[in-house]
A and B are shown apart, each in its own frame.
Chain A
Amino acid sequence: MTTRAAAPAFMPVAPLRRAVARFLANPTTGIGIILCVLIALSAILAPWLSPHDPIEQDVIAQLSPPSARHPLGTDYFGRDVLSRILWGGRISLIVSLSAIAAAIVIGGAIGMISGYVGGRFDTFVMQVMDVLLSFPSLILGLVVVALLGPDLVNLVVAIGLTAIAPFARIARAPVLALKQRAFVEAGRALGYSHARILFVHILPNILSEVLVMGSLWMATAVRTEASLSFIGLGVKPPTPTWGGMMRDGFENILDAPWLAIFPGIAILLLVLGLNMVGDGLRDATDPKLRAE
C-alpha cells in the first residue's frame, strides 16, 4: 500500500495571494494600517505640519489649554504640544524601527545558525537566550540604558537587546524542522556549502514567521521606548518624546491635565495600530488557522 506524503506545513508561495487577501479583508487590520500610515506620515511630515517649533519656549503662554493658536495646548515652558507630538513621533518610530531591525538581523542570525548547527552549541546558545528572556524587557532595557547613558543610540541598543532573544527563538524553531526536509539533504548531496543552504534555502523559508514577529514586536518596542522616556531614561530633553511629555504632564497633572492626555492618546494609537497590523499578519499566515 502506498501512503500519501503529508501536505506541507510551510506556506507555499501562491497562497501568498490568498494570505494577502485574507489580511486585507480583516477589518481591524485595515484600521491598523490606516493608523500606522497616518502616524508615520505625520511624523515624516512633522517639519511641515507643525504650527510651531517644538522646542521654542514661550513663557508667557505656559500651561495654556487648547486654543486656536495652540490646538493641543502648551506645556510648562510654553512649547506647543501639537508640534511636540508630531516631532516626538519621529523618535518613537526611529528608535523602534532601528531596534527591531537590529534585533531581527542579529537575533534571527543567531537563531538560524544555532538551530542549523544543533547539538551542544545549540543547547548552549539557547540557554543563554533563555537567560536573556527571563528578564522582562522593561527591566533589562532600563538597566542597560541607565548604565550606558540615555541617548538615541543607547536606547536603540537597549531595546534591541531585549528583542534579540525572542527573535532568536522564533527563527530557530522552524529551522529545526526545515533541517529534516529532503531539499536540505538534497542540497548537501549536490555539494552545496552550509552557508548556501542557510541563506538560499533556509532563510527564505523562515522569513515570513520572523517578519510577522517583527511587526508584533514593533508595538512592544514603541511601548518600551515610551516607558523608558517616562521614567526619565529616554532621549534627553529638549528633544520631544511622547513618554517624556507624559512625564511632564504627570508632574503638572493638577494644573494641566491635557499635557498627559494627548501624548497618551498618541502612544495608544500607534501601539494599537501596530498591534492590529501584527495580529492581522499573524492570523493571515498562521497555517493552523488557514483551514477555517
Chain B
Amino acid sequence: MKRSLKIAIAAGATVAILGPLGYIWQRSLVPTTYDMAEMGYPDYGGGQVAGHVHRGGAGSSGAGSISVAALTGPSTGDPEVAVTLTARKEKSGRYTLNGQTPGPEIRAKKGQLVQVTLVNDNVTDGVTLHWHGVDVPNAEDGVAGVTQDAVQPGHSYVYRFVAQDAGTFWYHSHQVSHEQVKNGLFGAFVVTEPVFSEGIDEVVQVHTYDGRRTINGVAGESPLPARPGQVVRARVINTDAGPLRAWVTGAPYRVVAIDGRDVHGPTDISDKSVTVTAGGRVDLAFTMPSSAAARVDVGAGAAVVAGGTKATNEPTGVVDLLTYGTKDAYGFDPAKANRKFDYRIGRKAGFLDGKPGLWWSINGHLFPDVPMFMVTTGDIVRMTISNSSGEVHPMHLHGHHAVVLSRNGVAATGSPWWFDSLDVGDGETYEIAFVADNPGIWVDHCHNLKHAADGLLAHLAYTDVYTPYKIGDVAGNKPE
C-alpha cells in the first residue's frame, strides 16, 4: 500500500472517532449563564400543550406570562413568627446560622405567618434558604437561579409564607448546596397544631459532620428528658446524603407522620426500624414505659436516651410504608390523571459539561438535555420513577407533596403515603401521583446533593410561568 494511502486511511479513522466525540463533547457544554427553564426539552406527559409558546430551536419552556418573582407569600401583615438568620462561613470551613450549626430551630403554629430574614455575613458564594417539604409559594422556595438570586455577602433576603400544614420540615441553603448543606447551613422548621399537646416534642435532627453522626449537633448519645407515661414525639430529620434507619428501644412506637403529613391509622411497631430518606422526615411516637427507660437510635451510635437505656442491635426488619397504616382518601383521583411522566434514572457514559465520565441520566439523557415536566394548574399528574443506576436516589420534588401509588407494580395498601422525599433504590420503580396546585418552576432532584450537582435534576414547570432569574449570571447562581 502506498504511504500516502496509509496516512489517508489513518486520518479517516481518526476523524471517524474524534468527530462524533468532539460533537458530543461540544454539545454537552453548558453556558456560563442560562435560563434553567430553557434547558432540556419540554415533556407534556400526554397533556395539552396549550398556553405554551416555543422559544428557541431546541424547544423551551417557561415562556409564560407570570413571573416567578410575582408568586410570593403575603406581602402585607405582621408576621407571627419573625426570625433573622445570619449565615457565616467559619474558619473551620463550617457554615453557621446565627453562629450555630444546625441553625436555630424555628417553630410556628399552623396558619401563622412566618417571616425569615436571611442575612449573608461573609459567604462569598452567596446563600439562599429553601424550605424543604414546605409547599411555599414559588418565590419563597429559595432556589438560586430559579426562584431568586443568591444572597451576596452584606445583603439580605426576606422569606414570607403562611405555615399551612403542621409537620416536621427543615430549611437549608440551595446555593452550592452540596457543599453548604454538608458543612452546616441548615436547621429544623417545625409547624405544630394550634392546640396545646401534652408530652415531649423533640426534634431529632441528624447530620454527619466530618464522619461523626450527630443529633442536633451532638455526637453519640443525648439525653431525652421524658418521664414515665409521657407521650414522646421524636421528629427525625435526615439532613445527610444517604438514607438512615431509626428505631425505638424500650417501648413499641408508631410512625405518626412522614414528610410533614400524618399517617392514617398507625399501628405499634416493635423490633423493626424505619427508613428515613435523605432529606426526609419521620415522626416517631411512643409512650414512656414505667421504667422511664427508652431510646431513639438513628444508627452509627447516635441516639436520644432516657433512663440510661443501653444500646441494642439495630433491628433487622424494616417497616414497609407501602402497607403501614390504614387506607384513607387521597382527596383526588389518580385514575383521572391528565399528565403522565416518566422519570427514569440511569447511568450513562458521556460528557457532563465537557467532563468525560459515567454520569446520572434521566430518561436516557444527560444534563442539561433533560426533560422539563410541563403542567398547568389543576392537573392531576402521575409519574413513574424508576432507577437502574446502581445506587439509591432520594428523589425530592419541591413545592408539592405526592402520594405513592405502587412500588414495583405492587399497589400501596396502607395509609396514603404522602412524601416530598422518596428513597428510590436500585432496581425499584415507584408510581406516584400529585395535584399540580402550586404554580411555579420547581426543582425535582436527587437529594444526595452531589448527585444533583452531577446532573440528577429536572424541573416541574407550569406552562404559564417564567423565571427572570438565571443560573450563573452576576449573582453566581449555582443551586446545586
Partners in one complex: no
Residue positions of A touching B, CB distance < 8 A: none
Residue positions of B touching A, CB distance < 8 A: none
